[in-house]
Amino acid sequence: MQAVVLKESDSERTLHLADLPLPELPQVDTSKNQCVRVKLSSIGLNRADTLFPQGRYFFKPEFTSFPSGEGTQGYSRAGFEGAGIVDAVNVGSSFKVGDRVAILPLTFNVSQQGCLAEYGIYDENILIPTPDSISDELAGSIWMQYLTAWGGLVTDGQLQEGQTVVITAASSSVGIASIQIAKMLGATAIATTTSDEKVLQLKELGADHVINMKTDDYVDKIKTITQNKGTDLVFDAVAGPATRSLVQGSARGGKIIIQGMLDRRPMDIHAGVLMKRLLTLKGFTLDILLDNPSQLQKAIKHTTNGLNTGALKPIIAQQFPMSRFEDALLLLKSNKHTGKIVVTP
């Protein structure tokens, strides 16, 4: 099979398309979780896919020896999110060949089971049935974006009907998913971007208001939109010095949840403002959901219902065959896309 790998000997830390043996199911061990083999049909790209090969993600690549005849160097697989068709099962499996499933992001060993490949073996307990409304070609684009958005807005942010939420860098897949979930909940969604072109796109994608952070005065805009009340929640993918404006635009008792670091410069925040206005400023990762089974199942249930009813709809920026994975990653790094980039084996 073909898979995208990082070679241990590559000082440039670039990814390559390699031929690997077709993975075989391990012998059944009733003391452990059952596994199935999945023939991947689509892979969603995420910011982690650019950071992981460079050793800049929360965990680093681990290298496995190539099969005999391939030299002594090791390799690590890549790909944080994917979906496909169950291709092989053991006796007693709760799945059957032909089942459509996605792999729950951040619950598997990316170095050994990365989804940028034609096949992978995964524990049954990390598989999610693909919603009926979603095609196999798009199924790998769903769960990272919608679970991140639900976890940040609902599980952590406690967003409610009638409240106002700001979603920064909103043209990303997580940003668009956040807009859709906010609207599904009956909240007012304010999107931010740095592009006039994306202002129009985000309005078309359902944002109630869009602020261009390069040309608009963020605080003045927020005061006008909220009639001087301020925002109840900010779901921030940027961080950096602009956090100061997010604080200034927040309502008393408001929350700012940081889920990304597009701007790695230090944040500019005065502690006295947080104290005086009783603001909450905290970080978020998907672990908050993954470590809470009941909240995770709630998020999966509501996302599946939203997708099947049409309240939620994944927006695809572009699809690439796996032979063009490098072009897909270049587009991801450019930040010029709107929505999810999908790779198909």
| Amino acid in the structure at residue 155 | T
- Rounded to whole angstroms, the Cα distance separating 80 from 340 reads 13
DSSP string, 320-331: EEGGGHHHHHHH
| In the predicted structure, residue 70 carries a pLDDT above the cut 70 | no
Q: Where are the alpha helices (DSSP H) in 249-343?
A: 271-276, 287-290, 293-309, 325-334
Q: Interhelix angle for 143-150 vs 173-185, to 10°?
A: 50
The residue-averaged pLDDT of 207-228 equals: 98
pLDDT at 131: 97
pLDDT-derived band at 67 (thresholds 50, 70, 90) equals confident
Could you tell me the residue ranges of all domains in the chain? 2-142+314-344, 144-288
Q: How many CA atoms lie within 13 A of 199 on its CB side?
A: 11
- Tell the residue number behind the tokens 């910011």, with chain if given: 47
- Rounded to whole angstroms, the Cα distance separating 313 from 172 reads 14
Q: How far is CA 192 from CA 4, 22, 172, in A?
A: 34, 44, 11
The residue-averaged pLDDT of 200-215 equals: 97
Q: By the 8 A CB rule, do 141 and 340 touch?
A: yes
The residue-averaged pLDDT of 255-272 equals: 94
pLDDT at 117: 98
CATH of domain 144-288: 3.40.50.720
pLDDT at 10: 77
For domain 2-142+314-344, which architecture applies? Alpha-Beta Complex (3.90)
Q: Is residue 189 helix, strand or coil?
A: strand
User: What digits encode the pLDDT tens for the residues 120-177?
Assistant: 999 999 999 999 999 999 999 999 999 999 999 999 999 999 999 999 999 999 999 9
Cβ atoms < 10 Å from Cβ of 220: 11
- Rounded to whole angstroms, the Cα distance separating 104 from 83 reads 9
| In the predicted structure, residue 9 carries a pLDDT above the cut 80 | no
| In the predicted structure, residue 27 carries a pLDDT above the cut 80 | no
Q: Which letter, b or e, does each residue of 103-118 get, where b requires 16 or more Cβ atoms within 10 Å of its Cβ?
A: bbbbebebbebbbbbb
Q: By the 8 A CB rule, do 89 and 16 touch?
A: no
Helical (H) or strand (E) element with 97:
none
pLDDT at 66: 82
pLDDT-derived band at 45 (thresholds 50, 70, 90) equals very high
Q: Is residue 73 helix, strand or coil?
A: coil
pLDDT at 103: 98
Cα angle 323-327-332, degrees, rounded to a multiple of 5: 130
**pTM given for the model:** 0.94
The residue-averaged pLDDT of 77-84 equals: 98
Q: How many CA atoms lie within 13 A of 122 on its CB side?
A: 33
- Report the C-alpha dihedral over residues 271, 276, 277, 283, rounded to 10 degrees: 30
Domains 2-142+314-344 and 144-288 share a fold: no
Residue 161, phi then psi, degrees to nearest 5: -55, 135
pLDDT-derived band at 107 (thresholds 50, 70, 90) equals very high
Which of 8-12, 44-48, 189-193, 273-277 has the lowest average pLDDT?
A: 8-12
The residue-averaged pLDDT of 71-79 equals: 84
| In the predicted structure, residue 68 carries a pLDDT above the cut 90 | no
| In the predicted structure, residue 13 carries a pLDDT above the cut 90 | no
pLDDT at 330: 96
